[in-house]
Amino acid sequence: MIYLFDKSLRSSQYVVSNAEYVKINMAKLNEFVDKLNIENSIHWLHDLPFGMDKLSTEELVNFLLIYHTMGFCYWGEPKWEVEYNNNKYDGAYGLICALTKKIEKNKLFLDFTYLSSLSYEEFKVILSGNIEIPLIKERYDFLMEVSKIVSQDMNNNFYKFTKDMNNDIELTNFLIDNFPSFVDVSEYKKRDVYYYKRAQLLVSDILHIKQEQLGVYVDYSNLIGCADYKIPQVLRDLQIVEYDDKLSELVDNKVQLDKGSIYEIEIRSTMLVVVDYIKNKSLHKYNAININDYIWLQGQDKNNTKMPYHRTRTTAY
């Protein structure tokens, strides 16, 4: 079963070994590792600008499945944003705000049978903001897929159906085997590259919540990281990851990179290899997902990031 994560990491290592446009600056990477201290870092859910303590553990886990089912691709000019408690939020925080507003009015939104009958027009109202969120139809289709599967095959309660799954290997495999929309695989030079970004992030969040709120033993040490666009942005800002002149020009001018392009795959895979190196170099003092979250949170502070992130229209991240 652990083969899933070994396979994922090996496939990204193959990409990095054959990369044409992205490389790792080992001197900068080692310098970063030597100074790294994330002992007091927090899980990203605790960084939210609003509380979710009104939800029980069961409700929160079901909410996380709903959120991560549609948690991808927020960039645009202008960026999609929503208003919540007189403040404006975009990106991942914006989506959580939009869903939270709906749940505060109607907790049936956490019922998968109810969700499976939600119309597209109703869904668009829930995610309404200053502009239409990118890939809104794909988000709706994914939500319908997941809701119908949970409703019909899991007694309408994802949390109860998976409550005894307390390790990342079992839970990640379960998500990939049961929900097609969580499959995240690309092809690079005739080889498959396995990312499973949203599946890994959902697993990490569920296990962290269960550990903190229920006090159960969980294991998320096998997760390898969540290849997105914010973490590569931070790593490039830190000069740990470097792009060649051609790719730099595309990213810096905010030119869209095609999903599955050699550029996108090299960016995503390099990020995972860097996270794995940090984990090993620090003698496994930190899990990959803790390193992943630490770097991601740095990217949420717009004062920390000077370089733009790469832009790809994708449901993967």
**pLDDT at position 311, please?**
98
Residues of the chain under the 50 pLDDT cut: none
What per-residue confidence (pLDDT) applies to 2? 62
Residue 42: per-residue pLDDT = 76
Find the DSSP H helices in the chain: 3-17, 26-35, 57-69, 91-105, 112-116, 120-126, 136-153, 158-162, 168-178, 197-214, 230-237, 245-252, 262-281, 288-300
Q: What integer best gives the mean pLDDT of the chain? A: 95
Q: What is the pLDDT of residue 44?
A: 79
The predicted pLDDT at position 211 comes to 95
CA distance 244 to 124: 40
Give me the helix-helix angle, 57-69 and 136-153, nearest 10°. Answer: 140
Tokens standing for residue 136: 């809104």
Provide the residue type at 13 as one letter.
Q
What is the per-residue pLDDT for 246?
Answer: 98
Q: Which residues pair with 192 in a beta bridge?
A: 187
Burial group, residue 298, by CB count within 10 angstroms (0-12, 13-18, 19+): middle
Tell me how far apart the alpha carbons of residues 65 and 198 are, in angstroms, rounded to a whole number: 10
Per residue in 270-311, pLDDT (tens digit) is 999 999 999 999 988 999 999 999 999 888 877 777 899 999
Count, residues in the chain: 317
pLDDT at 51: 67
